[in-house]
Amino acid sequence: MEADFCIEALAEALARHGRPEIFNTDQGSQFTSTEFTGVLLGNEIAISMDGKGAWRDNVFVERLWRSVKYEEVYLRAYDTVSEARSSIARYFGFYNGRRPHSSLDRKTPDRAYFDQLPQAMAA
C-alpha cells in the first residue's frame, strides 16, 4: 500500500486536533514506512504498533468500520469526494450521538463517554 494517503490524513489530524502522545497502528507497510514514521518522530509522537496477527488489538476499530461501510458507504452513491466526506461526517454524528449501542447498554457513545466525565463543581 502507498503511504501518501496515510501521511496526508495524519497531517490533517495533527493540524485539526494537535499532537497526541502516542499513535497506534497495525504493521501495514504504509504505517511502517520511513515517511510515515518520520512524521510521527518529527512531531515527538511515540509509535505503538500491534503485534503481527494481533486481531484483538484492532477489533473495536474494525467493528466501527464495518458499521460505517454497511450502514452508510454501501448505501450511497457519492458523486464527489466532498459529498462522501460530508455524508460520512453526518453518519458519525448519528453513530456517536443518536445510535444506541448494545455493547454500551443501549447508550450512544456520546452518552457513555460524557456521562463518565466528572461534573464541574458549582462555585
Q: Please tell me the pTM assigned to this model.
A: 0.58
Cα-trace Rg, the chain: 17
DSSP lists the bridge partners of residue 47 as 23
Structural domain including 31 reads 4-53
Is 88 part of any domain?
Answer: yes
Structural domains counted in the chain: 2
Model confidence over 52-84: pLDDT tens digits? 666 666 778 888 899 999 999 999 999 999 999
Question: Is the model more confident about 119 or about 98?
Answer: 98
Please tell me whether residues 49 and 62 are part of one structural domain: no
- State the DSSP string of 80-111: SHHHHHHHHHHHHHHHHHT--BGGGTTB-HHH
Please tell me whether residues 63 and 90 are part of one structural domain: yes
Asked if 96 and 108 count as a contact pair (C-beta separation under 8 A), the reply is yes
Asked if 38 and 10 count as a contact pair (C-beta separation under 8 A), the reply is no
Rounded distance between C-alpha atoms, residue 9 and residue 1, angstroms: 15
